[in-house]
Chains A and B, each alone.
Chain A
């Protein structure tokens, strides 16, 4: 499963309603306004459910969440953690 593509799909379908021109790997969600508070909540819930991970409060920071590239990298790291401990 391509994590980045899954996340991109989610955002394009549910936040941008198909309009994918605005989203690149490095577009800042906050600065572009693509994701607001509810949008981030939705993304976190999606990531937890889709990829079987648990995201802690203090992990919800711009370094982990502000671009498609960063979220994907973060999610992949978490998925590896789960694999390592199981």
Chain B
């Protein structure tokens, strides 16, 4: 993948200096270790860090069109670039590289901002139009690649990662209380926000245009919502075949690269499916990678190994021991740039390192299948609770919950209270946020640890109201499962999973992930598949299993869904990590940061020291509190004033008036 940075004057002020761009690029070097390039024009500067994947020889950026009037810095891969290039060539466009980047530039030349609608892939890029003096910045539909921006002293600044923006002196670095409120409710911020004040993300499916000093942001894609009449009426077999062919094509185009590609295999249905379809239908021999845990409850080793031998792949494993997780927590946070309520990103951070060490730069993963095909337990739960709400006293209906959570129901006491727990809020079945209300209500209990200061700063801001207001009008046309999928895709997938468990941790080790299930054609097709094929009765991802049954071992398809999680308390509070954690969370330190109540934090630590099975809420609280302090230290208190790395660009293009002709290093 790559990293981009840029500065654009809005009020005709001073020029951008190359030194400023280099300073922005330095902390993002991990995104593009292979090459670096800078572009300058009056009032504009663009920077690019390259991870070379397509066109290793001549794809250095920035890249220009024939007349050198359009310039692009690009983080992404557009997998249908081959077909688009052909089209453009037939229309007379001439190319000087074999990169997909150049194709995008010509597509923009021909179609303007609408070019993004033709792009099948994952991207965040900026194009500077010298003639019209316009800047165009775009992000892919679901937010696989990041781009953030801030407006400061009459300039628009943008970058793949927030740490690049923070290199600008005078830019305020402060955690945003409303963002914290959202993170401790939804596990992430809502679209457009980041954890920091005045630092925004360009939301997925949006682009930004700067023209005559005005910044305009427009939506070009949204999660598709189809009415019942618009849904596919064909029998499941036919639908299944269509989806299968599309999936194979989505995988096929994601194998386009000038470097070898690997595959993450967790032992679960989705990643196994990707790997198997590629092997079976496209003849791929894989290097596969998987995470192992010492604790049985988290480990999927048997299934991973089964898949590896089934595929005949060269399989490498990363043992995510509590010690390793504890030790890598802070570094992972530096990359995720947000407080986290889970440690799950850390093993993925460690796994990316294994990929790097094995010499690969690209991996395919199964991310997105749960959102698109209906895989999460929360979707089933929503169905059950909806059904239950019609007859709250029915014991038969509550037995369905037992089916869902069979394992947890060993304990009779737990069962009884689980029923009362899930029974809460049944009267609110018509609330648009119904499906997630329990999860979020639960998570919100962690807010008891907020300091009075923080609570005051949050004031009357209501995360649920903010969310409700941002839902499209057509949202009400969705059924219960559809709504649950929509919320999960919009919030959990785009703002947590693809970022903290996706792009950021892979890029930390210069690894590019590719996600066939999030091919926009797959998303669109699945949106037209009736809910009943996604969750038939209590069978989740019903139609995906149907498609994959012929190419996978029976036992993989039959497996009960095991959500990917990592242990928390024994990783963060044991050994040397525990010592660092306790140092960070002394009464004094907590009071100084002002985010949490020191007395309560101290009681939480005491409780966690002695209790055998920490509850989920306490674990989330610990992870959330500790990570907030680490983020505060890394980005607010001790953000490095000087870069550790210096960038020597391989290419510098300077078209500023009064500066001699463009120089190439």
Chain A residues engaging chain B, CB cutoff 8 angstroms: 13-14, 16-19, 30, 36-42, 44, 57, 60
- B residues less than 8 Å from A19 (CB atoms): 448, 600
Given contacts A36-B617, A38-B616, 5 further A-B contacts (CB under 8 A): A18-B603, A37-B417, A37-B421, A41-B411, A57-B412
Is A13 a contact of B413 with CB atoms below 8 Å? no
Q: Tell me the complex Cα distance, A36–B443, Å.
A: 12
Q: Which of A13, A38, A40, A57 contacts B607 (CB 8 A)?
A: A13
Is A18 a contact of B599 with CB atoms below 8 Å? yes
What 0/1 pattern do residues 433 to 452 of B give for CB contact below 8 A with A?
00000000010010011000
Q: Tell me the complex Cα distance, A60–B449, Å.
A: 29
B625 to nearest A CB, angstroms?
11
Given contacts A38-B617, A42-B615, is CB(A17)–CB(B418) below 8 Å?
A: no
Q: Is B420 an interface residue (CB 8 A)?
A: yes
Q: Tell me the complex Cα distance, A60–B411, Å.
A: 12
Is A37 a contact of B448 with CB atoms below 8 Å? no
Within 8 A of A (CB), among B406-429: 411-414, 416-418, 420-421
- B residues less than 8 Å from A42 (CB atoms): 611, 615
Q: Tell me the complex Cα distance, A19–B603, Å.
A: 11
| 17 chain-A/chain-B pairs, Cβ below 8 angstroms | A13-B603, A13-B606, A13-B607, A14-B611, A17-B597, A19-B600, A36-B417, A37-B418, A38-B617, A40-B417, A41-B411, A42-B611, A57-B412, A57-B413, A60-B413, A60-B416, A60-B417
Q: Tell me the complex Cα distance, A30–B418, Å.
A: 12
Q: Tell me the complex Cα distance, A21–B611, Å.
A: 24
- A residues less than 8 Å from B442 (CB atoms): 36
Q: Tell me the complex Cα distance, A39–B607, Å.
A: 13
Q: Which residue of chain B lies nearest to A16 when distances are taken between CB atoms in the complex?
A: B448
Q: Tell me the complex Cα distance, A30–B419, Å.
A: 12
Q: Is B88 an interface residue (CB 8 A)?
A: no
Q: Which of A14, A36, A44 contacts B421 (CB 8 A)?
A: A36
Is B417 a contact of A41 with CB atoms below 8 Å? yes
What 0/1 pattern do residues 609 to 626 of B give for CB contact below 8 A with A?
001000111000000000
Given contacts A40-B417, A41-B417, A57-B412, is CB(A18)–CB(B600) below 8 Å?
A: yes
Is A14 a contact of B413 with CB atoms below 8 Å? no
Query: For this complex, into which size category does the number of interface residues on chain B fall?
Result: 20 to 34
Is B600 a contact of A17 with CB atoms below 8 Å? yes
Given contacts A13-B607, A18-B600, is CB(A41)–CB(B414) below 8 Å?
A: yes
B400 to nearest A CB, angstroms?
17
Tell me if A's interface is mostly helix, strand, loop or mixed: helix
Question: Which 9 A-B pairs have CB atoms at the shortest separation, nearest pair first?
Answer: A37-B417, A17-B600, A38-B615, A57-B412, A17-B603, A37-B421, A18-B599, A40-B417, A14-B607
Q: Tell me the complex Cα distance, A37–B412, Å.
A: 11
- A residues less than 8 Å from B606 (CB atoms): 13
- A residues less than 8 Å from B617 (CB atoms): 36, 38
- A residues less than 8 Å from B600 (CB atoms): 17-19
- A residues less than 8 Å from B603 (CB atoms): 13-14, 17-18
Q: Tell me the complex Cα distance, A25–B414, Å.
A: 24
B505 to nearest A CB, angstroms?
29
Q: Tell me the complex Cα distance, A36–B442, Å.
A: 9
- A residues less than 8 Å from B599 (CB atoms): 17-18
- A residues less than 8 Å from B412 (CB atoms): 57, 60
Q: Is B344 an interface residue (CB 8 A)?
A: no
Q: Tell me the complex Cα distance, A38–B417, Å.
A: 8
Q: Which residue of chain A lies nearest to B600 when distances are taken between CB atoms in the complex?
A: A17
Q: Tell me the complex Cα distance, A59–B168, Å.
A: 63
A11 to nearest B CB, angstroms?
12
- B residues less than 8 Å from A41 (CB atoms): 411, 413-414, 417
Is A40 a contact of B413 with CB atoms below 8 Å? yes
Q: Tell me the complex Cα distance, A18–B604, Å.
A: 10
Is B416 a contact of A17 with CB atoms below 8 Å? no
Given contacts A17-B449, A38-B615, A38-B617, is CB(A30)–CB(B413) below 8 Å?
A: no
A24 to nearest B CB, angstroms?
18
Q: Tell me the complex Cα distance, A30–B600, Å.
A: 22
A49 to nearest B CB, angstroms?
11
A47 to nearest B CB, angstroms?
12
- A residues less than 8 Å from B413 (CB atoms): 40-41, 44, 57, 60
- B residues less than 8 Å from A36 (CB atoms): 417, 421, 442, 445, 617
Looking at A38, A40, A60, the one whose CB has the most chain B CB atoms below 10 A away is A38
B37 to nearest A CB, angstroms?
52
B230 to nearest A CB, angstroms?
41
Is B414 a contact of A17 with CB atoms below 8 Å? no
Q: Which residue of chain A lies nearest to B419 when distances are taken between CB atoms in the complex?
A: A37
